[in-house]
Amino acid sequence: MCASSGIGVAIARVFAGHGAQVVALGRSEPALAKLVADTANVTAYFSGDLTRNGVPERLVGESTDALGGLDVLVNCAGVLRGATIQDTTPEIWHANFAANTTAVYAMMHSAIPHMKSGAAICNISSVNGLQAFGGTAAYCASKAATDQLTRCASVDLAPLGIRVNAVNPGVVVTELQKRGGMSDEVYDRFLERSAAVTHPLGQALGRVAQPNEVAELAAFLCSAKASFITGECVAIDGGRQNLGAR
């Protein structure tokens, strides 16, 4: 699984806590090394940029060798390069799709030959794949494409006994928005407004989602408890997609 930071780290720790043997993947070797050192059952890591040709195939091969097989794949690498449609350059468009969609396809395509009946794939998408937002045209489109890829793959892989689902978080406390260009001050205001205004459940809880909550949902979808669930894109957004524009 992709586990350099944020939701990915939480997923690695939650899966390991449930007894899974985990191999962590990502771009930041120091972060991956720390995760392996600090977390029982995270047994190995391999680093690489999933947007580069050949890297997904290499990482899947190394992971399969380390684990002796492959039962679960979690794709949670992603970027947010925001812009209105009129300001979306080809570079912004391709950056979003390379990380958020093409890398997911490449990891799935490489992993499927190593998976047997009973295996599961979980793609970490976004509420932006389910609902339109201003100023994030390429990001929304890339996440919507990932959702449709999830649904199509679920149909193709069902005869093989491989399930494919997606998790669609709303705002979660991670570094995603900061890496997309938000300052600390703007990000703090963004979290406050998300809890108070745009995420209905956040108004009662006084917060947005935590990475661990997303991780537990992914763990459920990949477990035997969800053995008859496939092709679903499950929102974990505190009701955000039901609210409408605000």
Catalytic residues: 139
| Burial group, residue 200, by CB count within 10 angstroms (0-12, 13-18, 19+) | middle
Task: Look at residues 13, 17, 32 and name the one whose alpha carbon lies nearest to residue 210.
Answer: 13
Angle 140-208-241 from CA coordinates, rounded to 5°? 40
**Mind giving me the DSSP string for 166-231?**
EEEE-SBSSSHHHHTT--HHHHHHHHHHIIIII-HHHHHHTS-B-HHHHHHHHHHHHSGGGTT--S
Give CA–CA dist 71/49, Å, rounded: 23
Contact 167/234 with Cβ under 8 angstroms? yes
**What CA–CA distance (Å, rounded) separates 6 from 42?**
16
As given in the structure block, the two tokens for residue 179 are: 């890496």
- Quick one: tokens of 235? 């929102």
The conformation of residue 27, written as its DSSP 8-state character, comes to: S
